Amino acid sequence: MSRAVQPGSAREAASRGRPVAASVSRSRNPGMPLDLHAVRSERVNRPAADARAATLTTRRSVKQAWQAGWLLRAVTLIDLTTLAGDDTPGRVLRLCGKARKPVREDILAALGVEGREVTAAAVCVYHGMVPTAREAMRGSGIPVAAVSTGFPAGLSPLRTRIIEIKESVAEGAEEVDVVITRGTVLAGDWERLYDEVAAFREACGDASAKVILGTGELGTLANVKRAAAVAMMAGADFVKTSTGKEPVNATLPVGVVLARAVRDYFRATGVRVGLKAAGGLKTAKDALAWLILVKEELGDAWLDPHLFRIGASSLLADIERQLEHHVTGRYSAFHRHPLG
């Protein structure tokens, strides 16, 4: 028999104060010296990680009003993203409009949370679109995140990548999603990876450094955990699964490994580092699985946009469809939930 997970209904979640907005303040991760012994000692039991991931949703269920509450929370954790080669200012403006109002007012009213501040966690765009997004988000309190450092491959010269970070911050990016050189992980060159991430972190200044590991290209789950450990030691504010451009992106076994790396770092240092899942999350069911993972592996404190993000675009439409189904009993077409 499945066990219901009950974080709260839509109305109850709203009554707790702002289920849809940041409620946990967090200082930056100061980092620490590279501990090579700890990094090289990291091990992952792959069958156990797979088994843990497989039971996250089969042993639990989230139903009815509880599901609506979880999905509203998921909306507030989304980095609403457009990273296409044919991005235009118009598309970015529509994205920003949707970030401000991600769920239709009539749906919010039917859920009993009308008037509550329901927004996306951030807007994530290419470096060249930062000024457009920044102007559109002015006064909203929603940060603009820029993908940088030769996204998605991360193979441009280090000096060039650092300049790109500084220019994104100068243009108004409050968060920067940086890409590591995956070859450093595959070669076990942890000193170089540490220096690279530390340089990115310094270049970010006051902007949050969200370090993309490209987990689908790291070969093993042990490499994923070691890379995450090094990134956090170097000062990463978030560790992020993927660019979304790899053949394999955010999988639940990877999520289990990253969550435990984050937990280990917190236990060792007292510093909470954020986790971002990106790439391949397209359905409300995907979002619920990741929320359950984070709740069970890291605790309620991480179910907050300061500490957990979902990088997505089409995911929002499916969540909005599920919320409409909850209040009407009918599934609507995707075109009823446009980007903007």
Q: Give me the sign of the Cα torsion angle 143, 161, 30, 233.
A: positive
Look up residue 161 and give its two tokens. 């990548």
pTM score over 0.75: yes
- Among 132, 116, 128, 130, smallest CA distance to 76 is for 116
- C-alpha 134, offset from chain centre: 20
Determine which one of 177, 237, 286, 304 is catalytic.
177
How many CB atoms sit inside 10 A of residue 35's CB? 15
Per-residue pLDDT, 63:
76
- The CA distance from 32 to 192, in Å, is 15
pLDDT digit string, tens, across residues 23-36: 444 579 999 999 99
Per-residue pLDDT, 116:
74
Residue 147 has pLDDT above 60, yes or no: yes
- Residue 123, strand partner residues: 80, 144
Lookup result for tokens 């009407």: 328
Per-residue pLDDT, 127:
92
Residue 288 has pLDDT above 60, yes or no: yes
Instruction: Tell me the pLDDT band of 58, cut-offs 50, 70 and 90.
Output: confident
DSSP string of 153-193, one letter each residue: T--S-HHHHHHHHHHHHHTT-SEEEEE--HHHHHTT-HHHH
Residue 13 has pLDDT above 70, yes or no: no
Coil, strand or helix: which one is 299?
Answer: coil
| CATH superfamily of domain region 31-333 | Aldolase class I (3.20.20.70)
Residue 118 has pLDDT above 80, yes or no: yes
Phi, psi of 183 (to 5 degrees): -60, -30
- The CA distance from 76 to 203, in Å, is 28
DSSP E strands in the chain: the ranges are 3-4, 60-61, 78-81, 122-126, 144-147, 175-179, 208-212, 238-240, 274-278, 308-312
Residue 339 has pLDDT above 80, yes or no: no
164: left (phi over 0), alpha (psi -120 to 50) or beta: alpha
Per-residue pLDDT, 313:
86
pLDDT digit string, tens, across residues 244-283: 898 889 999 999 999 999 999 999 999 999 999 999 899 9
Determine which one of 276, 295, 304, 318 is catalytic.
276
Residue 10 has pLDDT above 60, yes or no: no
Q: Among this protein's residues, is 206 annotated catalytic?
A: no
- The CA distance from 130 to 163, in Å, is 15
- The CA distance from 311 to 321, in Å, is 18
Coil, strand or helix: which one is 41?
Answer: helix
**Exposed, middle or buried by CB within 10 Å (0-12, 13-18, 19+), for 293?**
buried
Q: Among this protein's residues, is 177 annotated catalytic?
A: yes
Per-residue pLDDT, 156:
94
